[in-house]
Amino acid sequence: MQNQVSRKSAIGARLSRHFVAAATVTAASAFFASTDASAGVVHRTFNAVIPNNIDGLYINVESGVTGSAAGVVTGWDLNPYGTSTTAISWFGATGGGCVTGLGQGGTTVAVANIAANTVIGSASTFANTASSVTAGGWQLNAVNIFGFRFVAADGLTHYGWGKMQIGATMGVRTLLDVGYESTAGAQILAGDEGTAPPPPYDACSAANPSASIGANTLYMASNAADYAITGACSFNMTHANFFSFTPPASGTYTVDTCSSGLDTRLAVLSGCSAGSTVLACNDNFCGTSSSLTFAATGGVKYYIAVGGTTSTALASPLSVTVTAPTFDSCALATNGSLGTNAITTNTFLANLGPVTCGTSPLTLYKAQYLRFTAPGSTSYQISLCNTLPTADTVMAVLTTCGDATSVIACNDDTCGLLSQLSFTASGGTTYYIAIGGYSATTTLPATIKADITELAPPINPCDPTNIINGVVGDQLVTVDQAYPNLDTSGFCSLNLIIYNVKYIKFTATADGDYTVGNCGDTTGSVDARIAVLTACGDATTTVACDDDGCTNASPWASKVTFTGFAGTTYYFAVGGYDNTVTGPFNVTIEAPLPPANPADLNGDGVVNAADLSALLGNWGGTGVGDINGDGAVGAADLAALLGAWTS
């Protein structure tokens, strides 16, 4: 669990989410005026505020759909965004981009505020460089024009322009209107609203907006044909627009236009062509607006038809709300297995939590579930790191679906803002992997990729093959990050966590004080921690511990002294201060010195004639020569000396 203060890097997260779209494509630049207006221009009015935040406004040029998240604007083309008050940032979908230049008085090339009637076409230069008063020549308290290109539903490049009202700062902006050439590859003049009617409305066109659960702001084509609704309603729907809707799960859904306040007629059909089956219809449910319910099968595409009652087309855009039934999140769980699992995000699911993740309680917003039955009793890793676009996720493993108290593992941020964790499972047991957003405003990607891999069995540091047999003197201890840590908290006065511990087994040969340390390490990554245990791997048997006891200075080597007893086996836990310590450690074991020989009267390490002379010189006296300590130098002392004779 990372520190939440340092966890955010909004621009970094956004760049990782859009790095493909941010590439710059450059061609020769040519700006010139022309009086020829294209006859295939499609013009739309938006009047949509561009939020001054990291998401801004996503725009699908063809469908006219806008939204504050990429996931709710299918096939988005343009994305002005940013939190600055002095600049606007841009992202464009693959193959897109905006016209760059100095603009109206700018000093730096960027997405430009271009003059009316500037030609926008294949000879223009396109990129997504941030705009400001100096970069691209944008003007405050004025309407600015920008040019762009995008890949349309036909898979071909089209050119267009947009007008944006800028307020007192660059952070105050409104998208006014957009015009684009319906003919692929045809150039367009900035500000050209067209001289011919838009192409005929096709109710089944893939470019038409689609509806999703929640509030939808849908562009209405004014040239759509009337449609006769048969069955229970039997009414004529004027200027009928069709919007596809694919429910994520089976149930009864409600569709309404109540918030629009307009006089609408509404129906749900099995298709978009004439003769399609009418599944539900309504006129005048909430005042003159409409509302209906219908039973839907998950994954099946339906068409919502909306029109008016008179020859006058409905105002555009129109607010259409789709309300989903209450879903059982666990019933919608995706079945998982080893390998990559694709989870289709359902944005209407309930939150999970709060769950205890490290020291912080976290809520998993719009929690999605992956059902996983462990094939064997071992450890598994679950990673979201390959999910694109990235999102700020939280992940937890539960033993009971939807029960926040059954969490056995969790993670917030591992690979950027995405999550990764590992847990130990029992073979044949089913676990539920919950994946949600970090906050209520987090937009989860449409598809989450969860990679499940079986981890190698954990290393047992107390296996005899992994233990170092210690001897008095020096031994080399290498660092292996596959080895577990030892937490002595509560059992050692320093409450140490020793990282990647290896154990030295040592049996004391005599009673006395023993010292274990790596004080001989004076350079390198040797910031060791050491503990003495009487049972391998069992922190409750800690006898002593140390951190930095050699000099309490760099390189922060350690030593510990303890009283050992002859015949007792001890385990010296040697590891790093943290996971970054690489070692190796040169560990020295020092045993207590043997007691002095009482017959070595002159202390030269041997018992010989010099000691005999000293004893005889004090015969009958006290002190020197009183080997047995009875208060007098005599025959017993002489016998002891001769018995200890060494040369």
Q: pLDDT tens digits for 42-68?
A: 998 888 899 999 999 999 999 888 988
Share of the chain above pLDDT 70, in %: 93
| Residue 260 pLDDT greater than 80, yes or no | yes
State the amino acid at position 288 in one-letter form. Answer: T
Q: What is the pLDDT of residue 74?
A: 86
Q: How far, in Å, CA of 276 to CA of 205, rounded?
A: 16
| Residue 501 pLDDT greater than 70, yes or no | yes
Query: Which DSSP string corresponds to 105-117?
Result: T-SB-EE--PPTT
Q: How far, in Å, CA of 170 to CA of 324, rounded?
A: 38
Share of the chain above pLDDT 90, in %: 65
State the amino acid at position 233 in one-letter form. Answer: C
Q: What angle do CA 421, 425, 429 make, to 5 degrees?
A: 125
Residue from 371, 373, 376 nearest 450 by CA: 371
Query: Which DSSP string corresponds to 402-446?
Result: T-GGGEEEEES-SBTTB-EEEEEE-TT-EEEEEEEESSTT----S
**CB-based contacts of 564, cutoff 8 Å, min separation 6:** 508, 511, 512, 513, 514, 570, 592
Using CA atoms, how far residue 60 sits from 79, 218, 442, 503, 560, in Å, is 9, 11, 21, 62, 68
Please check whether residue 580 is in contact with residue 525, taking contact to mean a CB–CB distance below 8 angstroms.
yes
Domain covering 464-590 in this structure, CATH number: 2.60.120.380
Q: Which of 53-67, 196-210, 558-572 has the lowest mean pLDDT?
A: 196-210
DSSP state of 394: E
- Asked if the domains at 334-454 and 597-647 fall in one CATH topology, the answer is no
Q: How confident is the model at residue 198 (pLDDT cuts 50, 70, 90)?
A: low
- Indicate the fold that domain 214-323 takes in CATH: Jelly Rolls (2.60.120)
Q: How confident is the model at residue 647 (pLDDT cuts 50, 70, 90)?
A: low
pTM: 0.47
Q: Residue holding tokens 């725009």?
A: 59
Q: How confident is the model at residue 197 (pLDDT cuts 50, 70, 90)?
A: low
Q: What is the pLDDT of residue 25?
A: 28
Residue from 636, 254, 405 nearest 644 by CA: 636
Q: What is the pLDDT of residue 605?
A: 84
State the amino acid at position 400 in one-letter form. Answer: T
Q: Residue holding tokens 């006219």?
A: 64
Q: How confident is the model at residue 358 (pLDDT cuts 50, 70, 90)?
A: low
Using CA atoms, how far residue 593 sits from 319, 565, 601, in Å, is 90, 14, 18
Distance of CA 147 to the CA centre of its chain: 35
- Which span out of 167-171, 192-196, 265-269, 414-418 was modeled with the highest average pLDDT? 265-269
Q: What is the pLDDT of residue 359?
A: 66
Region 113-128: what's the mean pLDDT?
92
State the amino acid at position 514 in one-letter form. Answer: Y
Please check whether residue 303 is in contact with residue 276, taking contact to mean a CB–CB distance below 8 angstroms.
yes
Q: What is the pLDDT of residue 26?
A: 26
Q: In what order do the strands lie in the sheet with 251-256?
A: 214-218, 318-323, 251-256, 291-296
- Indicate the fold that domain 334-454 takes in CATH: Jelly Rolls (2.60.120)
Domain positions in the chain are: 10-189, 214-323, 334-454, 464-590, 597-647
| Residue 346 pLDDT greater than 50, yes or no | yes
Choice between 285 and 232, residue whose per-residue pLDDT is larger: 285
Q: How confident is the model at residue 529 (pLDDT cuts 50, 70, 90)?
A: very high
Q: Residue holding tokens 């929690």?
A: 367
| Residue 374 pLDDT greater than 50, yes or no | yes
Q: How far, in Å, CA of 265 to CA of 277, rounded?
A: 16
Q: 20 exposed, middle or buried (CB, 10 Å; 0-12, 13-18, 19+)?
A: exposed
| Residue 321 pLDDT greater than 50, yes or no | yes
Superfamily of segment(s) 597-647: Dockerin domain (1.10.1330.10)
Q: Sign of dihedral through CA atoms 430, 416, 446, 174? A: positive
